[in-house]
Amino acid sequence: MKFHWFAEVTYDGLPDQFPAPGQGAWVDSPIDMADPGRVGENYRMFIRLMQQADRDGFDGLAVNEHHQTPFAMTPSPNLLAASLASSTQNAAILVIGDSLALYNPPTRVAEEMAYLDCLSEGRLIAGFVFGTPMDSAFAYARTPVELRDRFHEARQLVLRAWEERDPFAFNGKYTQLRYVNLWPRPIQPRPPIWIPGSSSVETWDLVTRENYCYGHLSFSGLQAAKPLVDGYWDYVATHDGDMNPHRMAFTQLVCVADTDAEAEAKYYEAVKYFQRVRNPAMRYATPPGYNSTRTLAQTLKHTTNPAAAADRERAVRGEMSFWEYDEKGYIVAGTPDRVAQRLRELATELRVGQLIASLHMGNLPEETAAENTHLFGTQVIPQLRDLWADEPDHWTPQVSQRRVAAASRPAVPAGA
């Protein structure tokens, strides 16, 4: 099993009463709440934490793309990835991912990802995302019904730009280029490709057909995620897809401490802060045309549990106790042994081979996040390495797999 360090780069200085219930923290949050100097401190903290994760044995360091929100201040994941590619040694650089439909021209993605692969000596994982409605339809004004066509055209252009040996012309519906002749090219013939998503059947089509890794990005708890993940695996099996667990990634908030009581004391406020700012206002979350009727029908089929919907509301309002967040799967918390056992159950039940562990959340202090990272890397990961060990992993770069394995071996004493 593989483990990737991830966190939403959340601004940690928001007022206690922001956002108001139902208003969300996306698209139109007042910029006067942000201190640019503090924003810079936040960025440097996340870089330090991921550099530590590389030393503590994680398989990947994950960065993502969002726009116009204090919840995730990562307008270009490639910038953050570049800081890591040149300052880490072992872990994969997991970009999850670039919102292809928002780039003009998309060859910019091909160039920047090739740069990252060269700089990291072949450690790039290329994640391509459709983009949230808030990012794509409102912050970047893309017509919702065009997003999937734009995404697929851009994806084909990026892949062809990596692989063609001679200059070529590209005449698509949205992009026309007379000369495509990419410098540089990635070290890997084709970096592993991940497609994050939530419930879109069209995304399931794509990852099953192309044998990409599918990342289920959910912070709404196991009760809400399980029907969708089960639906995805049923879809893969029905369409004769690859059932290898390593092509399923899952995001999970994790809070590790020396004792259960310490976990509650250190993480509870940060978990509530995270839940408070993560949701968009409904007016930005559901633009007409963003989801197909096929996906809407599939989503309704798997998300009609009234209890799960009520739980989501209570979670956002901070009305759950710390251990209720844990019980319902919004977090996995406690001692290293307890966390390892809970994650083993989760990974087995959901058939997850790539865990994207969110080890910083909300306004968590750096010292606590660093301790969380160290405990997870040195005491939780070793307990779970045996999971899916008999399945080959084609979705993590080979060089990072070799380096992480070599770094985890005990040193041989001199003269032995």
What CATH number has the domain spanning 2-407?
A: 3.20.20.30
Q: DSSP states of 9-38 as a string? A: ---S---TT-SPTTTBSSSS--GGG--HHH
Q: What H or E segment, with its residue span, contains residue 262?
A: helix 260-278
d(CA 35, CA 127): 30
CB burial of residue 283 (10 Å; 0-12, 13-18, 19+): middle
Residue-level pLDDT at 22: 83
Residue 119 CA: distances (Å) to CA of 78, 85, 93, 122, 185: 12, 6, 10, 8, 11
Residue-level pLDDT at 299: 66
Residue 70 CA: distances (Å) to CA of 10, 25, 142: 6, 7, 21
Q: List the chain residues with pLDDT less than 70.
A: 296-305, 411-416
Beta bridge partners of 215: 196, 249
| Angle in degrees, 0-180, between the axes of helices 293-302 and 222-238, rounded to the nearest 10 | 120
Q: Which amino acid is at 256?
A: V
Quick one: CA dihedral 195, 405, 112, 357, positive or negative?
positive
What would the two tokens of residue 232 be?
A: 């995805």
Residue-level pLDDT at 199: 72
Closest listed residue to residue 46, CA positions, set 18, 13, 82, 84: 84
What would the two tokens of residue 102 be?
A: 């928002």
Residue-level pLDDT at 416: 53
Cis bond leading into 221, ω under 30°?
A: no
Q: Which residues of 102-112 are buried (b: 16+ CB within 10 A; e: fewer)?
A: bbebbbebbbb
Spell out the alpha helix ranges (H) of 97-163. Answer: 107-119, 133, 147-163
